[in-house]
Structure 1
Amino acid sequence: MNAAGLPGLPGLPEPLELRELLELHARSLESAARLVDTVQPEQLVLATPCAGWTLRELLAHAVGQHRGFAAAARGAGPDLALFAAVPVGNDPAGPFRRSAAELAAAFAEAAADGGRRLRLPEIRADGTFPLRLAVGFHLLDTLVHSWDVAAALGVGAGVAAAVDGEPRLAAALLAVAERVPAGPADRVPGSAFRERLEPGAAGPFHRALALLGRDPAWALPAR
């Protein structure tokens, strides 16, 4: 997630405590892993809502993000290489689950250590972020990329319905999505998110997608 300009981000709304946020994040990672478990090798070439990325490339990116955030939670410096995509071959489920477990453990360790601040060079080249906010960033990535995967597989509605069915989870997602910078310089071609879309009367998850420039109605191109 590239969100330059976030130093003034006020963070997630209270009273969502770090403990609860970590629980929401861990459960979201597990839900994402169960979805990735279903991916078949022949589906890895499918297009995704992430323009230009196949399902294989999206999952390689997600595994790289897991590892990068885990390294940051354990005190790594501002090294972009730590966030690089990790090849997943024809069996993405294993790398995804292992890296997700590593990340959940790293976040829990950081919380037990007093909630250290994290260096996240993909978001801002210098400075640090509170653990609570870093978890919020990755929660957004987890949920949105879960939808990306599900949409590629033709089951995106299930992810949206599951999140909307948990008001606290949906509120946390929207809180972060609403604060991702949306100025002209922030949503240029090649950036993580596109220009905001009109959400209409959609539920919380689809509103979050629209805020990030994702079309909730995205579907695989007809063959």
Structure 2
Amino acid sequence: MPINELRILDALATRASLDLVARVEPADLAKPTPCEAWTLHGLLAHMTTQHLGFAAAAGGDGDPDRWKLVALGDDPVATYRDSVNRVLNAFAANDIADRKFPLPEFTTEFTFTAEQAIGFHFVDYVVHSWDVARTLGLPLTFQKEVLDAALKIAESVPDGQSRLAPGSAFGPAVDAEGLSGLDRIVALLGRSPGWPPAHRA
């Protein structure tokens, strides 16, 4: 996919996450999320950290400390908004296609192309937007172009035992038979499209 097209799709997914996070109230931060290990506060801290890590990588910074969980402070929404602006500005660099991204959270053995790195970020924020929307009980709709591109990436992510390892980006795929669109994407990447369970309030 041309890098400029990928950047546009990534920005759409990332800004969708921001639109949802902007609606978070303090009481929401303790809510459970589709990411079993995290409340919404923990998920937002993870998302913020990821934005800052990718922004640093876009500038060639491979310091693993850039990926250490950040504190959200007294205004988690503002902290998240700042991280979104940083990563989108970093990805907007004119020479981004020529850069190599060190991503120590993935591996320290080699760097990634801009297309690979932004593709990772893009599919992650399609899924994390879904995570936040489900946590808050809000609707989420993406353009067909976003879903088509995200599905292609989701289908290429290896499944299996590696997804059970600590720190794995995605859990094992769940049954995606008969699913389409966003439901199929999140199922392939380890989320239950039916979350939250029906018995939850």
TM-score (norm 1): 0.83
Find the partner of 1:174 among 133, 151, 165: 151
Deviation at 1:148, TM superposition (A): 0.7
Q: Say yes or no: does 1:81 pair with 2:65.
A: yes
Deviation at residue 113 of structure 1 after TM alignment: 5.0
Choose which of 1, 19, 22 in structure 1 pairs with 2:4. 19
The yes-or-no answer on 1:47 pairing with 2:32 is yes
Following superposition, the deviation at residue 173 of structure 1 comes to 0.7
* Partner secondary structure for residue 162 of structure 2: coil
1:190: Cα distance to partner? 5.6
- Tell me by how many angstroms 1:114 deviates: 4.5
Within 5 Å, which residues of 2 pair with 1:1-223? 16-77=1-62, 79-109=63-93, 111-155=94-138, 158-159=139-140, 162-163=141-142, 166-188=143-165, 191-219=168-196, 222=200
CA distance in 2, matches of 1:215, 1:117: 34
2:75 maps to a residue whose letter is: D
Q: Is the 8 A contact 1:65 1:84 kept in 2?
A: no
Q: Counterpart amino acid of 2:90?
A: A
Amino acid at match of 2:151: L
Q: Pick which of 201-210 and 186-195 moved more.
A: 186-195
Cα offset for 1:200? Answer: 2.5
2:112 is paired with a residue of what secondary structure?
coil
How far did residue 179 of structure 1 move? 1.9
CA distance in 2, matches of 1:152, 1:168: 25
Report the residue type matching 1:127 in the other structure: F
Aligned residues: 200
Task: Tell me, yes or no, if the aligned pair for 2:7 and 2:92 is still in contact at 8 Å.
Answer: yes
Q: CA deviation at 1:20?
A: 1.0
- The superposition leaves residues 120-174 of structure 1 with CA deviations (integer Å, 9 ceiling, x where unpaired) of 111222101110111110011111111111111112xx22xx12xx222112111
Distance 1:34 1:185, change over 3 A: closer
**d(CA) in 2 for partners of 1:149 and 1:113?**
29
| CA distance in 1 between partners of 2:96 and 2:31 (Å) | 41
Q: Percent identity of the aligned residues?
A: 40
TM norm structure 2: 0.92
Structure 1 unmatched runs, 5+ = 1-15
Please give the root-mean-square deviation of Cα atoms over the aligned residues, in Å. 1.8
Change (3 A) 1:113 1:131: closer
Summarize the Cα distance change of 1:168–1:113 in structure 2 as closer, same or farther, 3 Å threshold. closer
Aligned-partner SS, 1:186? helix
CA contact (8 A) 2:97 2:114 kept: no
